[in-house]
Structure 1
Amino acid sequence: MQVKNLARAAQVSPDTVRYYTREGLLQPVRNPDNNYQVYSDDDLQRLNFARKARQLGFSLPEIRAILAQADDHHSPCPMVRDVFEQRLAEVEAQLQELTELRDRMKAAMASWQTMPDGTPDGHTICRLIEHWDLPASAASESRRGQHEPIV
């Protein structure tokens, strides 16, 4: 099948098919009569697999490695579990950091509601930020060097 047929079958754009082809995830052959790329049912399966893997957060290099193991008739499932477990832990940590940021933002907004606006006077830039106190836990984490400073 041609690019447009594969795209339609996988419910993606032809540009997506071309992208995955350039990335080496799809392996079309050239039609000698017209030099068009011809995709197989295996390419459709790989494209659908890649889309699902991307939805689960796998990167293109990881997907390429999974497909390479499968192509070599080795089960990629142990690698998938390991990568996914690590990625899930990273997402959990990001969620925790975002929750803490949201809480700081809410606290700052609450304290800023009663503060007047100020004009920079050479000694201040924005009093809202300069007069806001870091919560004790955020300040102690910064001092311990456990997290990068908020810039």
Structure 2
Amino acid sequence: MRVTDLARRADTTAETVRHYTDLGLLTPRRDPHNGYRQYNGVDLSRLRFALKARSLGFTLGDVRELIEESEGGETPCPRVRSLIEARLAEVEARIRELSELSARMRAAMDDWSRAPDCHLGDGRVCGLIDSFNAESAAPR
């Protein structure tokens, strides 16, 4: 199957197929008559695997390592478990950071709703930001 056929069967874009091919995750053969890339069922399985792995937070580097491990006759499942555990910790930490940022932004919006707009002639850029006290807006 060609690039567009593979993309359609995996519910992705031809650009994704080309990118994954350029990275070596997919290994099509070249049609000797026209030079087109020809993908097979293994490529479709790998592409679906890569897309699912990406949806779970795995990097393309992770995907490559997992494919190589599998091709080497080893099961990558223990590595998958450890990687997802690490990624989950990273995501949860990021969620906490974003939640704190959201609280600061809401506090700023609340403070600024009562403040006048003004042009400062003393070298400061924006009095709203200068007046914001991040410590008082920190979640308790």
What is the alpha-carbon distance in structure 2 between the residues aligned to residue 33 and residue 130 of structure 1? 67
TM-score calculated relative to the size of structure 2: 0.90
Q: Which runs of 5+ in 1 are unaligned?
A: 139-151
- Which residue matches 1:90? 90
Q: Which runs of 4+ in 1 moved over 6 A?
A: none
- Which residue matches 1:32? 32
The two structures, once aligned, show a CA RMSD in angstroms of: 1.7
Identity %: 46
Verify the 8 A CA contact 2:66 2:76 in the aligned structure 1. yes
- Superposition map of 1:5-20 within 5 A: 5-20=5-20
Residue identity in the other structure for 2:39: Y
* Deviations 1:60-106 (CA, angstroms, capped at 9, x unpaired): 11100000011111111111111111111011111101111111111
TM-score calculated relative to the size of structure 1: 0.84
Q: Which runs of 5+ in 2 are unaligned?
A: none
> CA separation of 1:13/1:125 partners in 2, compared to 1, >3 Å: closer, same or farther?
closer
Structure possessing the higher relative contact order (Cα contacts under 8 Å, 6 or more residues apart): 2
- Superposition map of 1:93-104 within 5 A: 93-104=93-104
Q: Does 1:71 align with 2:71?
A: yes
How many residues align? The count is 138
- Which residue matches 1:3? 3
